[in-house]
Structure 1
Amino acid sequence: MHVFDKSRIDAVNAALATGRPLLVRGEPGIGKSQLARATAKLLGRAYIPFVVTSHTESRDLMWRFDAISRLAHAQLGAALGGDKDNLRRELALDNFIAPGPLWWAFDWNGARSQAARYLPSSHCDDEAKQVGNYLQPPQSDGGDHKQGAVVLIDEIDKAEMDIPNGLLEVLGKRCFLPEGFTERVYVEGVPPLIIITTNEERAMPDAFLRRCLALHLALPSLPGEREKFQEILVERGGHHLPDLDKTLLESAACLVAEDRIIAQNQHHRPLPGQAEYIDLLHAIHELAPGNPEAQQKKLEQVARYVVSKRRSDQG
């Protein structure tokens, strides 16, 4: 469950109104990624997540060229001694291009057609290949691509700067040209909402920032705003697990606040915060369901493993 506060609602509405990507900044575990999925569910849109890694290239967000499958197909065709003209047609680059998340977001039907054409999908059953189900983003929340799409580009700061730099043109012009194609892919229908997250491990290029709106998610600072910090945790804990006793929610928030202050003073990262708090509540809820007294006893026992991840006093 994601809790939309006013700043998140305003930021999403502004991004929808301007057509700009929304860059969501903040520490790990504060709810940046969940914002994208929750927004897609709220709007009834298709949800298309993509997690960036250190090996991600900017084109992976638009398309992926399967060079290994193409080479294998060429070697197999040569070994079998098939018709050369037919083999040449089969080895066309566009038969080995898989649509990426932005392709699905820009032109779902076009991406679906390309997914069905994608030659390495030949090992799938005929129905899956014909309709492009092999690569189609699953919609577990019932999102409808006809209502538009919400794309999550998660943890963009994990990659080198060629990722944000490589997105400048596609974000600005809302089109791109896949390798081996002669026609560009344009936005068809409702423009997508693109949400990009960063843990701010690396600074983003200025040109990239100018093309985005920015939302900074942060918990109140400690120790100065401890009361507000704990109030926010209790409120969000109540949304996630409404059957837990409020006294337990408050005790758990107090433990997380104490550990966060200790981690800050010892310069430990990541700081315990909202994610650890919710995990702690879920653990207690599962270990002592429906028993407030037992849950309170379990709190400190479990907290040392869920919250105190950098501490040496777990024995």
Structure 2
Amino acid sequence: MPARELTTQQSPRKHPVGAAAVLAFLATLFCLAEPSLAYYPKKGDSAPHHGVRDARRKVIQGIDVSRWQGEIDWEKVKGAGTRFAFIKATEGGDHLDPNFRRNWAEAKRHGIPRSAYHFVWWCRSAKDQVRWIKKHIPRDPDALPPVLDVEWQNGSQCAKRISRQEALEKIEVMLKGLREHTGKKPVIYTDINFHEDILEGQYNDHPYWLRSTAAPLAKRYARDRWEFWQFTTTGRVPGITGDVDRNAFFGTEREFEAWRQGRFDIGTRTWHGGGPKTKVASRIPPATPAGLRAPKGAGGIKLKFAPPGRIPARTADNRDVERTGTVRRN
């Protein structure tokens, strides 16, 4: 229903308390809707969706880019608070993103952790694609683990849909190839349809990077956990002209840094050194207070303890059923 327009008889000047209340209410709604603006005030979204508000509240956020973002000013991208970047490197068995080398070098020069990703073509053999990956994706020790981008290529030259078994076999070969080449466990990127058709219940020890731009991931994927969320394709980031994909990391600062260093596996949530310290329960029972005195508040009476052999056994015959604390009473 459209709001009624104010007339001269309904001037806000005659109701200063009501106007102030309305303004306060609107400000509260704004804060509730976008509490994450304080994290990244320089970033935005040309078409924000309420369903992904939880992703915008994550402290560690990044982007993914390809040739379609044109020439990127990585200094401004860094200044906007970008914590990581997934950069397209290769596609199929014969395509190299023309902006990859520049984006790769510039992101590193400005101190942005970056990962290279390969876009899978189902029309090419897995071995051909692994050879192409090894030829063009650098074996950079300080790079983030690589990404295998698996989705259906609807509307492209390779619109072929293969069987689930064949798809999993190809994915297995390429995951193995990426890991052997970089020495790091790859991240799997996918969308809702491909995950449902092929990946549901598979590769649960690998980190997952999932796409959902209109709803929480839990409502779109049959998965217990995930590591990255691509929550919008219409993001706005200084240094990039037009729209760019924005992503959020599910984890703590410590986990993200340890993952970068190879000390924490975000896929299995296991530590390989330097993990959080936990208290180990002592196997030695605490000393008994025999011979000590009770606190002053309890009268300071010297404590007496019966030897273990003289403690009468409580049996069904000698229980006092009228006392509280007996088995039958409880």
TM more than 0.5: no
Larger Rg: 2
Q: Comparing both chains, which one has the higher relative contact order based on Cα–Cα distances under 8 Å and sequence gaps of 6 or more? A: 1
TM-score by length of 2: 0.27
Task: Give the alignment's TM-score, normalised by structure 1.
Answer: 0.28
